[in-house]
Amino acid sequence: MSKITVYEKPTCTTCRNTVKILAEKEIDFEKVNYYIKPFSKNKLKTLLKKMNMSPSELLRKNEAAYKELKIKENNYSEEQILDLMVKNHDLVQRPIVEIGEKAILARPAEKINELL
């Protein structure tokens, strides 16, 4: 099996649940706190491609930053949304789990089983 990487915010309940599922299955994985090691634009683009998602589909729409930036009202392009996500990590849904050429948004955490 390819290396598994979990892109997470450690205080996020769904992230902790995803990590717990992997640990219980005794699966080796790496955790990346993307608040400490931020996504580059290229990395986020690559993950989106692997998930077959657009930046707007990965947005956390209930975050204060989403409302403050008036993303819905401003009709940003997908490229502009991607740029906003790189600058403001709170806008990125989590956790993202990457295995080789595949990645998923593990919401709910049990969705991780689709990759295993």
Provide the pLDDT for residue 114.
Answer: 85
Q: What is the pTM of this model?
A: 0.93
**pLDDT tens per residue across span 11-40:** 999 999 999 999 999 999 999 999 999 999
- Sequence ranges of the domains in the chain: 4-114
Least Cα distance to 85 among 26, 7, 17 occurs for 7
DSSP annotation of 4 reads: E
Report d(CA 17, CA 108) in Å as an integer.
9
Least Cα distance to 19 among 97, 90, 91 occurs for 97
Provide the pLDDT for residue 73.
Answer: 92
Report d(CA 85, CA 91) in Å as an integer.
5
Consecutive 10-residue runs of the chain (116 residues): their mean pLDDT? 91 96 94 96 97 96 92 93 96 96 95 87
Report d(CA 24, CA 86) in Å as an integer.
32
Provide the pLDDT for residue 97.
Answer: 97
- CATH number attached to the domain at 4-114: 3.40.30.10
Active-site residues, by number, are: 12
Token pair listed for 44: 């986020």
Task: Tally helices (H) and strands (E) across the chain.
Answer: 5, 4
CB atoms within 10 A of CB 24: 8
36 three-class SS: coil
Token pair listed for 30: 């790496």
